[in-house]
Amino acid sequence: MGDACQHSHRETAQRPDRVARLLAEAEAKVEAAGQRLTDGRRRVLELLLAVGEPMKAYDLIAQFGVDGRPAKPPTVYRSLDFLEREGLVHRIASISAYVACAGHEGSHAAAFLICDCCGTTQEIPAGVAEPLQQAAREAGYALERTTLEAHGRCPDCRD
């Protein structure tokens, strides 16, 4: 993904003041749940928020250290697991990457539009979440999280 594109795309990186605000909101949410946003968890979330697009775990590992040194993989993977459980990041399985949650309140089903040309990913409301929850209840399941992934081409790549 991305290499095939010969055209420009919109910038996804977030401004530092927005990243700081989102980190403060995340910390408040985690503390309200009786948890801690440790330095490692905070750094992983900060990297995901700053880039504004999905990142693979090994890219997070490489960029983790502020002094240029990579993190130990377990540090990043444990942080990602925690952040996903707390609803602050989503794992996009089809591209083996993680992305900061787009800011929906509370627990929600995530739905992503993924461009197969440039890799742009957009989180959208998952309108099928309630019928899926109902079908799961009828089948005796208790869903813990739902992530829908739809692949295609973004407006920039379609034109």
Q: Tens of pLDDT along 93-144?
A: 999 999 998 765 555 678 899 999 888 888 888 777 788 888 999 999 988 7
- φ/ψ (deg, to 5) at 120: -55, 135
Q: For residue range 67-82, what is the model confidence (pLDDT) as tens digits? A: 767 788 999 999 999 9
Q: For residue range 20-59, what is the model confidence (pLDDT) as tens digits? A: 999 999 999 999 999 999 999 999 999 999 998 899 999 9
Is there a contact between 5 and 117 (Cβ–Cβ < 8 Å)?
A: yes
Question: Which residue carries 């081409």 as its tokens?
Answer: 153
Q: What is the pTM of this model?
A: 0.83
**DSSP 8-class letter at 72:** P
Is there a contact between 97 and 54 (Cβ–Cβ < 8 Å)?
A: yes
